[in-house]
Structure 1
Amino acid sequence: MKTALEIGSEDRLRHYGLRPTRQRMALAELIFAKGDRHLTVEELHEEAVTAGVPVSLATVYNTLHQFTEAGMIRVLAVESAKTYFDTNVSDHHHFFVEGENEVLDIPVNNISIGNLPEPPPGMEIAHVDVVIRLRAKRG
């Protein structure tokens, strides 16, 4: 079985039910070529421009949301002004380094969550995101 890094962007897109357009394939290649990571729309747009991929910021935004809806990546909102997209869709949690805008993975087995409330009728808990905010020690 191929690992995530060995799957080509065209196959990956088809697997998730997305049409492999040139821009989607180029963005998927940029996103997944470096393994699991967290990135913003702006960071991916900058990578695309640097790599010579002609895409607008709006196209990057729309593509990331299409990838999210398809289940290829997941959204991680750690600040109201900035949304990160996570290539690791497995169950895990995050550290957020304040002031550096860095997101780090925490394996799910390192945190125990209990006493969750019952969801409303007809609803189920999809997943629980824990974000632990870090800052440099003071004094």
Structure 2
Amino acid sequence: MTHAHEMPIEERLRHCGLRPTRQRVALADLLFAKGDRHLTVEELHEEAVTAGVPVSLATVYNTLHQFTEAGMIRVLAVESSKTYFDTNVSDHHHFFVEGENHVLDIPVSNIEIGNLPEPPEGMEIAHVDVIIRLRPRKG
């Protein structure tokens, strides 16, 4: 069986219910070309400009949110001023290096989460995000 992440970008977009427009394909190509990573809207916009993809910051923002709603990527709210988009949608957690604004995956096997509260009636837990903040050792 072919997994979604092994399909050509156009097929992946269609598979997720999105029309493969030129801009979506170009942004998805940039986004997924380097394996699992964490990017802000600004970083992807900068990559697009460098790669000669004529796209506005607003279009990158809207496209990343469309990809998120389609389940292709997920949003990481690490700090209030920046939103990162994660190309790895599996259950995993993150280290955040303060001051460097750098996000790293934590292998899922390293963390066990227990004693989660019972969700309210009619609700289920979608996923739990653990963000461990790092800083250089002092002294």
TM-score between the two structures when normalised by the length of structure 2: 0.96
Is the contact between residue 76 and residue 85 of structure 1 (CA under 8 Å) also seen in structure 2?
yes
Report the secondary structure of 2:72's partner residue: coil
Cα distance between partner residues in 1 of 2:70 and 2:126: 15
**Equivalent position SS for 2:123:** coil
Other-structure match for 1:47: 47
Q: How far is 1:41 from its partner?
A: 0.1
Q: 2:136 corresponds to which residue?
A: 136
RMSD, aligned α-carbons: 1.2
> Are the counterparts in 2 of residues 9 and 29 from structure 1 also a CA contact under 8 Å?
yes
Tell me if the contact between 1:5 and 1:33 (Cα under 8 Å) persists in the aligned partners.
no
Matched with 1:13 is 13
Q: Which runs of 5 or more residues in structure 1 are unaligned?
A: none
- Aligned AA (1:106): I
Percent of matched pairs sharing the same residue: 86
User: Which residue pairs with 1:104 in the alignment?
Assistant: 104
d(CA) in 1 for partners of 2:19 and 2:3? 21
Determine if contact 2:39/2:85 at 8 Å carries over to the other structure. yes
| Aligned equivalent of 2:126 | 126
Large movers: runs of 4+ above 2 Å: 1-7
User: 1:89 aligned to 2:89?
Assistant: yes
Q: Which residue does the alignment assign to 2:80?
A: 80
Farther-moved stretch of structure 1 (5-14 vs 24-33): 5-14
Long gaps (5+) in structure 2? none
Once the 2 structures are TM-superposed, how far is the Cα of residue 15 of structure 1 from its aligned partner? 1.1
TM-score, normalised via structure 1 length:
0.96
Distance (Å, rounded) in 1 between the aligned partners of 2:45 and 2:102: 18
| In 1, Cα distance between equivalents of 2:45 and 2:100 | 19
1:99 partner SS? coil
